[in-house]
Amino acid sequence: MEAIIAILVIGFALVFMAVKIVPQQEAWVIENFGKFDTVTDQGGLIFLMPFMQRIAYKHSLKEQVVDVREQTAITKDNVTLRIDGVLYVKVMDAKKASYGVSDPYLAVSQLAQTTMRAEIGKMTLERTFEERDTMNANIVNVINEAAVQWGVQCMRYEIRDITPPHSVLQAMELQIAADRQKRAEILNSEGKRQSQINVAEGLK
């Protein structure tokens, strides 16, 4: 009786080790005796050879959101900005994502930081606010050139915040206020001029 129970326990253990269920939108990397064997990226049942094959890595095939932490960058006109962003990344090749780099998301995030600093360094302060879309596109292109080797693709990148120093913000606010005042004076002057023209036309 004990022998039968032992055989059943061993049998259940072998079945548990051999039969796995791969969730939809996941890719599992399977190794055979420690070497890469295959990638299973279709949801459903798979069968492994106990003690020979193992699941080495699991990757989600869904688009992942990766924060690019805040950092400082210096513009072409020597203004120090605080800037952060967000990446949208997707695993395209589970094998490269497993063996090409230890952490593909961290690698992409760090590359985004260095690229973002480089892009800011090419622009003046005013252009950094005007050309966000251009910067975003340039950063995506640079990331994807390197990320091919890591098995991931950057779908898009968005700069969240660009924060100049407080003194620069004050100067910008004063300039905006002066521009508004100037426009108001011009409109007021134009209104008076038009009124005088209308009066003169009426006297005729």
* Residue 22: predicted pLDDT: 87
Is pLDDT at 11 greater than 80 in this prediction?
A: no
Continuous H helices in the chain: 2-18, 94-99, 104-121, 125-130, 132-147, 166-203
How close are the terminal C-alpha atoms of the chain, in Å? Answer: 124
Cβ atoms of 83 and 116 within 8 Å: the answer is yes
Continuous H helices in 26-131: 94-99, 104-121, 125-130
Is pLDDT at 197 greater than 90 in this prediction?
A: no
* Residue 169: predicted pLDDT: 56
Handedness of CA 144, 98, 28, 48 (dihedral sign): positive
* Residue 163: predicted pLDDT: 81
CA 56 to chain centroid, in Å, comes to: 26
Q: Which amino acid, one-letter code, is at 191?
A: G
* Band of pLDDT at residue 95, cut at 50, 70 and 90: very high
Is pLDDT at 143 greater than 80 in this prediction?
A: yes
Is pLDDT at 99 greater than 90 in this prediction?
A: yes
Looking at residue 48, the DSSP 8-state letter turns out to be: -
* Residue 173: predicted pLDDT: 56
Is pLDDT at 155 greater than 90 in this prediction?
A: yes
Is pLDDT at 58 greater than 70 in this prediction?
A: yes
Count Cα atoms within 13 angstroms, Cβ side, for 194: 6
Rounded Cα gap, residues 160 and 132, in angstroms: 10
pTM of the model: 0.72
Question: What is the pLDDT averaged over residues 121-141?
Answer: 87
What mean pLDDT is reported for the chain? 82
Is pLDDT at 49 greater than 70 in this prediction?
A: yes
Question: What is the pLDDT averaged over residues 180-193?
Answer: 61
Is pLDDT at 5 greater than 80 in this prediction?
A: no
Rounded Cα gap, residues 73 and 113, in angstroms: 10
Buried/exposed code over 53-84 (b: 16+ C-beta within 10 A; e: otherwise): bbebbebeeeebebebeeeebebeeebebebb
